[in-house]
Amino acid sequence: MNKKRLLSVLLSAAMVAGTMAVAVPAYADDTEEITWMFWDDLEATEDLVSKGYKDVIDRFNTEYEGKYHVTPITTNLEEYDGKLNALIAAGQTPDVYICNPGPNMDVYVNAGAAADLTDILENQEKDWYATFTDGIFDRLTYDGKIMAVPTNFAAACVYYNTELFEKAGVEVPTTYDELIDVCKKLQDAGITPISCSAGTAWCLSMIAGYLCDRSGVDLQAIADHTANWTDDNCIAAGEKLKELSQYFQETAAGDSNDQATANFYNGDAAMLVQGSWAIAQINGNNSDFQSKCGVFQFPGIDGANDPNRMIVKTDNLLMSSTTEHQDAAIALMKMFTDEEAQKYTAEVAGKFPIIKDLDIDYDKAPAQLKYVQDIMDKATGTFGFYNESLASVEAGDCFDNAMVDIFLGNQTPEEAFQTVQDFYEENVWE
Amino acid sequence: MQTKKSKKPVKPVTVILYLFLIILAVIYVAPLLWMLSVSLKDNAGVMAAPFALPEVFHWENYQQAWTMGKLGTALVNSVLVCGVTLLVSLFFGAMAAFAIARMRWKLSEAAHTFFLIGMMVPVHCILIPLFVRFAGLGLTNSRVGLMIPYITFSLPMTIFLLTGFFKSMPGELFEAAAIDGCGIYGCFFRIALPLCRTGFFVSGLMTFVGNWNELLLAMVFISDPVKKTLPVTLTYFVGPYATNYVQMFAAIIIAIAPTVIVYCLFSNQIVEGLTTGAVKG
Amino acid sequence: MDKILRNKKAIFIFIAPALIMFVLVLVIPMVQMVYYSLCDYAALTPPKFSGLANYKKLFFKDATFKIALKNSIFFMIFSAITQQVIGLGLAVMLTNIKKGRNLFKNIYYLPSVLSSAALGLLWAFMFNPKIGINNLLAQFGIKGPLWLMDSKGFIVLPMWVIAFVALWQYVGQNMMLYMAQITGISRDIYEASYIDGASKTQSFRYITLPLIKPMMVTSLSLNCIGSLKFFDLVYNMTQGGPNHRTEVLATELYAEGFNYFKYGYASAISVVLLVMCLIVTLLVKKVIKVETYEG
């Protein structure tokens, strides 16, 4: 029985491979081995932020050689939470792991998978704590306990093509009415005013989030149920979204985020509303574009809310509540937030540092970073992406979907916000 | 029958039939050619005109995909995991299917339905219980730990298909063998297995392709980069904010090439062998 | 012969390896799944028993589940009919031609081998509002619809699109199954029928059809189970959107479990899915009666 012999050979080969796999890699006895989980592969990535993280990991392993060693566990973004959940459920929580702010982080904090860092930051590592930008921990604090350390933040702005603006003879708008006017003139000049993806719901939702905030929607009041999703300011924001969406590219309904961004850097549309991570993507794909890509803050609405509030988002590191190598984990988190790493974040990756008094060389950095920084300096307040600021991930999706329905014309703003209201009545307020 | 007709002039029906088959074939081959064309462009070009032919052929995409995606290691892992899975699941599956299809016992029908249930379970829902169990046994982050669920998930399909093939085998064959002094094991190894080549091919193909493309289990079970399989490394090209399409497609082409080649080689041999009259009723 | 076939020890030896693996890897987690479906369970915290609460919410309150159920049933019926008819048709055509049979067969099977992620992307480009098909239609002055974003009608357009793409991708498998069975039919039978004056249609009706009946049960069952559990193309083409209108059972349970961390609820959907699969397979077995050859 030739087949059988082949089978048994293969099987035993597999078994041997398996036993070898279980064996722990041999390091010097006193090296503390930790793991760090992340949502992008560090070797193959083209993402500049991820590349910066890889530098940090390499630096950590060199600097602490013989003392600490970190092994990254990577997945892609889609499978990240699935794998992290499985690891936590099996008691193999990675020592340090990355997480989005808001409801996603709530899940890990509420499940007790994240360590309370308050004591470490406020008492044991005072100097480190003092380096952080004021207020940066606000969204990472639960009942007075700091549960995560940020590594960078991104701000959402409007990017515009200066060449196309000149061609149509328009200026940067500062109010919503001016924005509509600019859109009209661009359209008359045969230029697509705004590139947006409704296929990737959060892109549309970013514009909706700005419109809501500019109209004076108060998420905290909604969370406390002292305000409703069916209030006038929500409906007004919905109407404006509907109005603005007439000026999106024809294919907005089907374009993915990548396509919408490409539309902009290929010069097919005059404006793009995106997070500052897009800077690297735009310049990377079309290096000639840097000189003609300007930035302005999302226009305000006359007689409504403060127009200087910005949507921002941090990337955050959580430490496992069950880690046996706290010192190594803290050392790693420190390295993510040290001057070298933060300088890279700003000068190369196009995101913002989370530490104070950093001397950024704006000549090295992409031109747009300075523009965004100038806007940030004027900012009077920040708020999160709407889909990451609601009661749960599901509530965020519900909001996103309602906005897509307004855009597609399936529902009037009243109907769409009524669905969000119903969701809150059913699942949040009770 | 066919040899007689070949001397006649070509019928219009035949022409229409071939025309139809060729048009259909074009619809089927086009996507592959499209993938090939994307893999030779640059990313901005893909976005600007996805269906245009590449202006410059970026062959370096393949080389970069190979090194960045660590496709060499991944290919070895995939071949090892899927190969062992294929052999073991076919062998175990054939044994069970033979007992269900040909042997006489009260619970055979029940066993058939029981195994069938395995095909109905959505893998997403048993993922976490399974992972926790395997972690307890130290079987996560190992290739064997991946083979075991793959084999098990392949079993229902294999058993289901092979049962059909074993059932359609004429019983006289086994009776004759029994008269010649063949035991039950002899019947299985000398008659059932060799006669079931088509069945092995069909069920092997279907489970192999499924495992070769399986992402979720591989992603969750394996953390060590040197043990990752092809579908996992293909996701390397999907970043958190942007996807590197050109290299991803180059990697996809590299990943499917072996399956397509092996498939074409084997499928021809086996169906050819059968039509020349290997099975006599 | 009969005695050999009733050999208990042999039956045990034949069944045991598959059974043991099956029970350990599939059945135990499956039982856990059924238990979780009765719990408030978020994977990270221990499950809390909550009786039938998940099922009550599923059937009486969850609008998305109703859409998913509707889409899954539509998808199953559509796939079962089209894939069986076209798959069988292709198999018969290919077994009746002389030249290029293997070439055509390999080509038609090709999409089943390709990864759904890549194909999903391809078809997303193809059905983009401007490029792809609509670009082609525009040449003739027709304005194409929003293939993947339209949301009108009982079964929305994107669902039809996905169903046709799935037909394109998987019909090769049914063709392959039928071809395997048809080529297995002894050619002597056909020769004999032609000598008796039977036409090709008659030989198909009276020889091929009855002889491939077992394969019909197999292929149809696989088809129904596969399409009820269908996940890949929906996930890669629309991710259930716009606003859940193309959600199917598998994508909904994925979202509930992996995006919203509601494993208990996702388990309840899985149980519903499992029961539906069971009912359908039993129905298939009942409707197509097969006489087995007894040796």
Q: Is the pLDDT of residue A23 over 80?
A: no
Which residue of B38, B41, B46, B47 to mutate against A (max A Cβ within 10 Å)? B47
Least confident of A190-194, A240-244, A350-354, C133-137: C133-137
For residues B140-165, average pLDDT: 92
Give chains near C: 3+ CB pairs under 8 A.
A, B
Cβ–Cβ below 8 Å for A266 and B223: no
Q: What is the pLDDT of residue A21?
A: 45
**In this complex, do C30 and B121 lie within 8 Å of one another by their Cβ atoms?**
yes
Backbone conformation region of residue C239, classed left if phi is above 0, alpha if psi is from -120 to 50, else beta: left
> Beta A269-275 vs A192-195: how paired, if at all?
parallel
Residue range B161-171: mean pLDDT, rounded:
84
CB burial of residue C201 (10 Å; 0-12, 13-18, 19+): exposed
Least confident stretch, B2-16, C100-114, C274-288:
B2-16
Opening angle at CA C101, ends C97 and C104, nearest 5:
120
For A287, residues 6+ apart whose C-beta sits below 8 A from its C-beta are none
pLDDT digits (tens, 9 = 90+) for B92-143: 999 999 999 988 888 888 998 899 888 888 888 888 889 998 999 989 889 9
d(CA A234, CA A403): 11
State yes or no: pLDDT of A327 exceeds 60.
yes
Tokens of A233: 């300011």
Nearest to A215 by CA among A155, A296, A274, A300: A300
The amino acid at residue A163 is E
| C contacts of B162 (beta carbons < 8 Å) | none
Chain C residues whose C-beta is within 8 A of a chain A C-beta are: 42-45, 61, 124, 127-131, 146-149, 151, 241-244, 255, 258-261
Q: How far apart (Å, rounded) are the C-alpha atoms in residues A84 and A318?
A: 12
Mean pLDDT, all residues of chain B = 84
Q: A287 pLDDT band (50/70/90 cuts)?
A: confident
Residue with the two structure tokens 């098909």 = C133
Residues of chain B contacting C295 with CB distance shorter than 8 Å: 102, 170-175
Q: What is the pLDDT of residue A329?
A: 95
pLDDT of residue A181: 95
Q: Are A260 and A278 in contact (CB under 8 A)?
A: no
Interatomic CA distance for residues B193 and B95, integer angstroms: 9
Whether A89 sits inside 8 A of B68 (CB atoms) is no
Q: Give the model's pLDDT for residue B236.
A: 86
Residue B201 and residue B266 in contact, taking contact as beta carbons nearer than 8 Å? yes
pLDDT > 80? residue B245 = yes
Eight-state DSSP code of residue B169: S
A82–B220 C-beta distance less than 8 A:
yes
- φ, ψ at A327 (rounded to 5°): -60, -45
At residue A345, does pLDDT exceed 60?
yes
CB contact under 8 Å between B242 and A281, yes or no, is: yes
Cα angle C88, C94, C96 (rounded to 5 degrees) comes to 105
CA distance A320 to chain C (A): 13
Which two tokens mark C242?
Answer: 């716009």
- Written as one letter, the residue type at B181 is G
pLDDT digits (tens, 9 = 90+) for C149-205: 887 888 889 999 999 999 999 999 899 888 887 877 767 788 888 888 888 888 888
Q: How far is B106 from chain A (nearest CA, A)?
A: 30
Is residue A366 within 8 Å of residue A290, measured between CB atoms?
Answer: yes
Q: pLDDT tens for residues C211-235?
A: 888 788 888 988 999 999 999 889 8
DSSP-assigned beta bridge partners for residue A296? A158
Q: Does the CA dihedral B69-B72-B77-B83 come out positive or negative?
A: positive
Measure the CA–CA gap between A46 and C185, rounded to whole angstroms. 55
Position B91 pLDDT exceeds 90: yes
Per-residue pLDDT at A208 exceeds 90: yes
- Of C273, C283, C266, C274, nearest to C80 (Cα)? C283
A20 band by pLDDT with thresholds 50, 70 and 90: very low
Q: Is A98 helix (H, G, I), strand (E, B) or coil?
A: strand
CB contacts < 8 A (A, B): 124
**Interchain proximity C29–B198, CB inside 8 Å:** no
Q: Which of C137, C208, C148 shows the shortest CA–CA distance to C179? A: C208
Q: Which residue has the tokens 């495992």?
A: B211
Residue A96 has pLDDT above 90, yes or no: yes
Distance CA A3, CA B281 (A): 27
What pLDDT does residue A339 have?
92
From the list A71, A88, A90, A59, the residue with the least C-alpha distance to A32 is A71
| CB interface of A with C, residues 168-187, below 8 Å | none
CA distances, A385 to each of A203, A381, A390 (Å): 10, 13, 9
What counts of helices (H) and strands (E) characterise chain C?
Answer: 16, 2
pLDDT at B260 over 90: no
Residues of C whose CB is below 8 A from B280: 186, 188
- Tokens linked to B123: 């893998």
The pTM is what?
Answer: 0.87
- Give yes or no for residue C294 having a pLDDT over 50: no
Which residues on chain B are in Cβ contact (under 8 Å) with C13?
95
Give the phi and the psi of residue A385 in degrees, each rounded to 5: -55, 140
All domains of chain C, ordered by start, with CATH? 66-287 (1.10.3720.10)
Average confidence (pLDDT) over A374-385? 88
Residue in this structure with the two tokens 């722990």, named with its chain if needed: A24
On whether ipTM exceeds 0.90, the answer is no
The reported pLDDT for the residue numbered B271 is: 57
CA distance C226 to C173: 12
Residues 65-84 of B with CB under 8 A from A: 68-70, 80, 83-84
> What letter would DSSP give residue C39?
E
Q: Between chains, do C241 and A401 touch, taking CB under 8 Å as contact?
A: yes
Other Cβ atoms less than 10 A from the Cβ of B180: the count is 9
Tens digit of each residue's pLDDT (9 = 90 or more) over C79-131: 999 999 999 999 988 888 878 888 898 889 888 887 777 788 778 878 877 67
| CB pair distance less than 8 Å for C42 and A254 | no
User: Cα B126–B131–B134 angle (5° rounding)?
Assistant: 125
C151/A410 touch (CB, cutoff 8 Å), yes or no:
yes
- Per-residue buried b or exposed e for A157-175, using 16+ beta carbons within 10 Å of the residue's own CB: bbbbbeebbeebebebbee
Give the model confidence (pLDDT) of A32-73 as tens digits: 999 999 999 888 888 888 899 999 999 999 999 999 999 999
Domains for chain A: give ranges and CATH numbers: 29-153+313-367 (3.40.190.10), 156-312+374-429 (3.40.190.10)
Which pLDDT does position B281 carry in this prediction? 31
Q: Which residue has the tokens 């060499």?
A: B72
Give the distance from residue A362's alpha carbon to the nearest chain C alpha carbon, in angstroms. 38
pLDDT of residue A319: 96
| Residues forming CATH 1.10.3720.10 domain(s) in chain B | 64-275
Name the region of C241 (left: φ>0; alpha: ψ -120 to 50; beta: rest).
beta
Which residues does chain A have within 8 Å of residue B228's beta carbon, measured at their own beta carbons? none
Q: Do B69 and A259 touch (CB under 8 A)?
A: no
CA distances from B219 to A35, A86, B128 (A): 16, 11, 13
Which of the two residues, A28 and B29, has the higher pLDDT score? B29
Per cent of chain A over pLDDT 90 is: 56
pLDDT score, position C285: 84
What confidence score (pLDDT) does residue A19 get?
45
Class level of CATH domain B64-275: mainly alpha
Contact (Cβ atoms closer than 8 angstroms) between residue B125 and residue C33: yes
C-chain residue closest to B129, CA distance: C29
Residue with tokens 């069975």: C181
> Rounded mean pLDDT of A377-398?
89
Please, which chains are in contact with A (at least 3 CB pairs closer than 8 A)?
B, C
Nearest to B245 by CA among A281, A242, C27, C138: A281
Contact status, residue A330 vs residue A257, Cβ threshold 8 Å = no
Task: Say yes or no for a CB contact (<8 Å) between A89 and C61.
Answer: no
- The per-residue pLDDT for A237 is 94
Report the mean per-residue pLDDT for chain C: 86
User: Which residues in chain C are closer than 8 Å to A198, comparing Cβ atoms?
Assistant: 149, 242
pLDDT reported for residue B264 = 78
